[in-house]
Structure 1
Amino acid sequence: MNKLLIVDDHRIFTDGIRFLIEHSTDLKVVGVLHSGSEVIPFLSGNPVDIMLLDIDLPDMQGFEVASMVKKYHPHVRILILSMLDDAESMGRMFEVGVKGYCIKSDGRDEIFKGIEKIRKGDSHWPKSYLELLSKQAGKTSDSRLTQREKEIIALICKGSTSGAIAEKLFVSVRTVETHRKNIYRKLNVHTSVELAHHAKKHRIT
């Protein structure tokens, strides 16, 4: 678990992070790409364990790249490196299977911590974001959830899509989406990542 790929269009940043990684860790940087369209062809011919991925790429968004990587190369562990520190960006990345998220302005030590955590199979998310989710969870109650809603929460937390949930529960996708909206409203959450943290903290599933 030591082969690392960097995907970021800021060449000064990639030169710097590559130098730091190669001179401060035992990780091997096997490639540096500057566009999203290069990623899948590169992975098809080169073994990669960890990918550092920026959200804003010149040809496509990072969540699109992450989605393709998780589909065709699910073993690759992805750590986002971005200037974006909003909950929506982090939530979208969690939903496509990203293992961690680092804000570039947090500095080298935080990035290295994130790399090491996902390398070990753990996840890594900004402390400010986890605190926000904790505060939101503390203000909500799951006492009004129906049994069917709890079943759907469990499936969402496992990464199932609305289509897969509908098929498993023998209901329509529209019904699942209605349940999802009701769950979000009752628990005061807005994304699957917030729901997952709430469910884990309150042991809903």
Structure 2
Amino acid sequence: MIKIAFADDHQALIDGVKMLLENTPNFEFIGAAHNGVEMLKLLENNKIDVVITDLKMPDMDGFALTQKIKENFPEIKVIVFSMFDQPEAVKKASDAGADAYVLKTSSLDVLVLAIHKIVAGNTFYDKDISRDLKQATEFIPNSLLSSTEQKILGLIANGKTSEEIADVQNCAISTVYTHRKNMAAKLKLKGKNELLKYAVENKYNFS
């Protein structure tokens, strides 16, 4: 069962997405929040697999929420669900760590497809986002990794162990392991030494 939460400041949209998810096999709707602050509180008290978030919200927007989720709950997948189709918005969301970007102008079936794709370990971009933009966000490594992941990759490149990285980041070593696993998946790397090799070869980009 895929456990899902939704952050948006429009109650009517929340109600519609909730109904969709509750009627989709293997989906469980855990709860909703009207801004990023409320969503983070929800995540602290519930086991969530996927967060769907709007970008424009009061108190904490979707960009900041996505980055906070990837820093504190790296195992959670994030789908940005927005009206904004500008390249800058998509790039900024990707840089924050978003696993998928779906436009609100699309059918809700696209949202369901995005959930299945990212849970399977893939990234997903709405087909209505231009081909050039998808290439820019999907295939540039720096765009695939969140700021926290880029920092950790820089530490790996400098020879830091997972224990040392946990100390620098002030987090549990299990969180570092999860970040390493997620980075390897995003960069399509296999084998325990491939991430280190990639980090050293790209040290300038992440230092």
TM-score tier after normalising by the smaller chain length: 0.5 to 0.7
Given that 1:155 and 1:165 are in contact with CA atoms closer than 8 Å, whether structure 2 keeps it comes out as no
The answer to whether 1:117 aligns with 2:111 is: no
State the TM-score, normalized to the length of structure 2. 0.66
The answer to whether 1:49 aligns with 2:24 is: no
Mark the CA change 1:91 to 1:31 in structure 2 (over 3 Å): closer, same or farther. same
What CA deviation, in whole Å up to 9, does each residue of 1:90-139 have, x standing for no partner? Answer: 10111111100000001112111111111211110123435124788xxx
Question: Following TM superposition, by how much is the alpha carbon of 1:23 offset from its aligned partner in structure 2, in angstroms?
Answer: 1.1
Alignment match, 2:90: 90
RMSD: 3.2
| 3-state DSSP of counterpart to 1:105 | coil
From the CA coordinates, give the structure whose radius of gyration is larger. 1
Given that 2:9 and 2:34 are in contact with CA atoms closer than 8 Å, whether structure 1 keeps it comes out as yes
Alignment match, 1:180: none
Task: Specify the code of the residue in structure 1 equivalent to 2:114.
Answer: G
Alignment match, 2:104: 104
Q: How does 1:118-157 map to 2 (within 5 A)?
A: 118-129=118-129, 131-133=131-133
Alignment match, 1:21: 21
Given that 1:100 and 1:123 are in contact with CA atoms closer than 8 Å, whether structure 2 keeps it comes out as yes
What CA deviation, in whole Å up to 9, does each residue of 1:53-100 have, x standing for no partner? Answer: 100112222110111111111111001110111111110111111100
What CA deviation, in whole Å up to 9, does each residue of 1:125-179 have, x standing for no partner? Answer: 123435124788xxxxxxxxxxxxxxxx86776555479649947xxxxxxxxxx
| 3-state DSSP of counterpart to 2:5 | strand
Alpha-carbon separation, structure 2, partners of 1:95 and 1:132: 17
Alpha-carbon separation, structure 1, partners of 2:103 and 2:143: 26
Question: Following TM superposition, by how much is the alpha carbon of 1:41 offset from its aligned partner in structure 2, in angstroms?
Answer: 1.7
How many residues were matched structurally? 159
Alignment match, 1:11: 11
Same amino acid, percent of matched pairs: 25
Unpaired runs of 5+ residues, structure 2, are: 159-185, 188-201, 203-207
